[in-house]
Chains A and B, each alone.
Chain A
Amino acid sequence: MKTNVKPINTNEQIIFSKGAVLVFAHLFILACYLLKFAPIAKAQSLSLSLSLWPPILEAMMIPGKSITQAYTITNSGLDTIIDTKIFKFEPSDEHGNITLVEEVSADQKCPLFSFENANLSLSVPFRLKSGNSEQVILKITIPEDCPEEDYYFTFLFSTPPAAKIGQSVAREAGTIGANLLLTVSKDGQPLRKGEITEFTLNHCRKLPLFNFCLLDSLDPVEFILKISNTGQAFWKPFGKVKINGLLRQSAEIEIMAENVLTKASRQLHGQCQEGEEIYPCPLGWQPKFLLGPYRAKAELAITSPQGNKINSQVTFLAFPFKLGLAILVAFVVLGLIKNKVRT
């Protein structure tokens, strides 16, 4: 009788061993990958990175007209949900910051906000994938019966709070916004006026009965210039601070044209330039050495260089107080040494 016993193939053993090694190798690599990259994957999934353009929209409109503005929101983090809202805002300080007041309700009539996108609606969340941008086209309509005044809003793009991962957790939610400054006017020439409420030197030290600031010759000159809007529409100031010294010293500092909202005041900056970029910087002047009396005059025009002019001036006296004190101390010390040597 012939038994049909298949002899053990040593090659199969070898193949099985090779397979096992391959499987183990794959598992090992997978484990290494999970151990090495899992924390990064977790961190990425719980981060947020949004950017928005433009950051500000300024518009003047006739009642009964509409405009549209495209906003580009870009998600540089991982996939997220974006919700859109519009809030009214008020100026919160003299530096251009805002306080969100209340969300624009669905039944608000003046102005009316809506999206022109076919697939997006205001206050309806949408998905934004990682690395993608969405162009949201905001339509602003001013009904015929809208009062002629200014309207200030912030267009917000929010993400929902992160999913809970862990035990006791503080989850985070992020929102980014852009400001809308709207002036409603029938003739395009709303009343624009303002006044300089403060023009002085920063750290101004005044002697009793004297109406000028004292300054050390080696100190930088830094001005505080505040203006308020007493008109019916927001505007920008255009102008300079002109400085003249008794010893024929003179300088001019360009003022940054920043928005001043109605019933609000703003501290103005100087205008700095680097290459083609112009940006706000402290309103200051840093000569090597100051000496004698100086007069600084702030000359501003409202809305355009040809607009209504407002001005104010400040006088200051520069003297080398620190240098003089140092020399005085040096003389006293040397005098003391001299006396000691003599005795």
Chain B
Amino acid sequence: MIIIRIYPNKKILLFLLDCYIAKLFYCFLIGLLSYWVIGLFSPFMVQAKNMDSDSYHIQMGNMNMGAGLPTSTSYNLGITGGQTAPGAFLSSGYQLLAGFWYIKTIIPFSFSIDDLSIDFGTLTSNQFSTKTNNLTVSAGGAGGYQVTAQENQPLTLDSGVATILDATCDDTTCTEILCRPWTETNKYGFGFNMSGEDIDTGDTKFKDSTYFCQFADQSAGTPETPQVVMSKSGVTRDPPSNTSTAQVTYQVNIAGNQAAGDYENYVMFIATPTY
């Protein structure tokens, strides 16, 4: 049997490696020059575009879209001159703009809640009871939006003599402003988590599914300010529905000595467009 062994020549290997490094350097130089040339002569990809459409070539600060049947006791509203013709304003006594002129004005601002009654059933001590519903917003006709939430009071026994306090989470620090993890079943109360689109996932908000907050309490000595649960500074344009949806997860846990009975409260969600 003949065995052929090939031992690489060190000099050849070093020569090849040198060639390779040199080639790489030349490639880098050529690439850099190419980028330079592309950068000099290529048309730039700009995110924002000019208003070229005939129907939206509008540059007046004050104008009227004639939408929503605006009327006056003395004049029907046609067009208003705004800054370019203050006389028109003086003769009519007003100038008016309804809807955002830069967005398709026929799209209304919409808000939906898919379940208005969150039934926790029979609450069992030291055991989380969790329910969910969905909030959906379509702000196609508005520049952006926010949804705030506030409860009228903590969960309260029908007879009004006992309450399930708002949750303070695992480290007993969470409030209506500060969200914290809540996974331990020996921590009691009522709280909520948000997930989905247009929610704040910062460290002090709904970082993940274990982070819970209290609802702002309207019945507190000084009523707590409703807190933002969904927000977007632009229009909702996610295809195909052009809506934003977020899930609210409600969680309750009671101690063994919690008074028996049915508890209830209500939560108010307010959806407003940006100005």
- Which residues of the other chain, A, contact B263 by a CB distance below 8 angstroms? 168-169
Give chain A nearest CB distance to B215 CB in angstroms: 9
**Contact present for A273 and B49 (CB under 8 Å):** yes
- Which residues of the other chain, A, contact B32 by a CB distance below 8 angstroms? 320
- CA of A19 to CA of B168 in the docked complex: distance in angstroms? 64
**Contact present for B108 and A53 (CB under 8 Å):** yes
- Which residues of the other chain, B, contact A170 by a CB distance below 8 angstroms? 118, 120, 131, 151, 155, 190, 250, 264-267
Please count how many residues in chain B sit with their CB below 8 Å of the partner chain's CB atoms: 113
**Contact present for B121 and A174 (CB under 8 Å):** no
B39 interface neighbour in A96, A189, A247, A280, Cβ under 8 Å: A247
Q: Which residue of A lies closest to B146 (CB)?
A: A97
Please count how many residues in chain A sit with their CB below 8 Å of the partner chain's CB atoms: 121
- Quick check: which of A28-36, A119-127, A302-310 contacts chain B, the rest being far away? A302-310
- Which residues of the other chain, A, contact B121 by a CB distance below 8 angstroms? 166-168
Q: Which of B177-210 contact A (CB under 8 A)?
A: 190
**Contact present for A289 and B38 (CB under 8 Å):** yes
B93 at the interface (CB under 8 A from A): yes
A287 at the interface (CB under 8 A from B): yes
**Contact present for A273 and B117 (CB under 8 Å):** no
A50 at the interface (CB under 8 A from B): yes
Given A69-B70, A271-B48; A58-B264 close (CB under 8 Å):
no
- Which residues of the other chain, B, contact A171 by a CB distance below 8 angstroms? 116-118, 264-267
- CA of A79 to CA of B20 in the docked complex: distance in angstroms? 76
- Quick check: which of A1-9, A224-232, A249-257 contacts chain B, the rest being far away? A249-257
A206 at the interface (CB under 8 A from B): no
B17 interface neighbour in A98, A167, A175, A341, Cβ under 8 Å: A341
- Which residues of the other chain, B, contact A271 by a CB distance below 8 angstroms? 48-49, 51, 102
- Which residues of the other chain, A, contact B120 by a CB distance below 8 angstroms? 166-170
- Which residues of the other chain, A, contact B97 by a CB distance below 8 angstroms? 57-59
- CA of A238 to CA of B48 in the docked complex: distance in angstroms? 14
- Which residues of the other chain, B, contact A285 by a CB distance below 8 angstroms? 44, 46-47
Given A69-B70, A178-B273; A161-B266 close (CB under 8 Å):
yes
A269 at the interface (CB under 8 A from B): yes
A48 interface neighbour in B28, B42, B77, B116, Cβ under 8 Å: B116
**Contact present for A164 and B112 (CB under 8 Å):** no
Given A76-B112, A97-B274, A288-B45; A281-B234 close (CB under 8 Å):
yes
- CA of A100 to CA of B9 in the docked complex: distance in angstroms? 82
- CA of A247 to CA of B37 in the docked complex: distance in angstroms? 10
- Which residues of the other chain, B, contact A255 by a CB distance below 8 angstroms? 48
**Contact present for A251 and B108 (CB under 8 Å):** no
Q: Digit string of B35-73 for contact with A (CB within 8 Å is 1, else 0)?
A: 110111010111111111101100111100001111111
Give chain A nearest CB distance to B92 CB in angstroms: 8
Q: Which of B106-120 contact A (CB under 8 A)?
A: 106, 108-120
B117 interface neighbour in A98, A165, A189, A306, Cβ under 8 Å: A165
Chain B residues at the A interface, C-beta cutoff of 8 Å? 10, 13-14, 17-18, 20-21, 24, 28, 32, 35-36, 38-40, 42, 44-53, 55-56, 59-62, 67-73, 77, 82-84, 86, 89-90, 93-100, 102-106, 108-123, 129, 131, 133, 138-139, 141-144, 146, 151-152, 155, 190, 225-226, 228, 231, 233-235, 237, 250, 252, 262-275
Q: A53-B109, A249-B39 are in contact. List 7 more A-B contacts (CB 8 A).
A: A55-B108, A167-B120, A174-B116, A176-B272, A235-B61, A276-B53, A303-B83
Closest 3 CB pairs of A and B: A166-B119, A96-B274, A162-B116
Chain A residues at the B interface, C-beta cutoff of 8 Å? 43, 46-62, 64-72, 74, 76-77, 89, 91, 95-100, 135, 137, 152, 154, 156, 158, 161-179, 181, 187-189, 217, 235-236, 238, 247-259, 261, 269-273, 276-291, 303-307, 320, 327, 330-331, 334-335, 337-338, 341-342
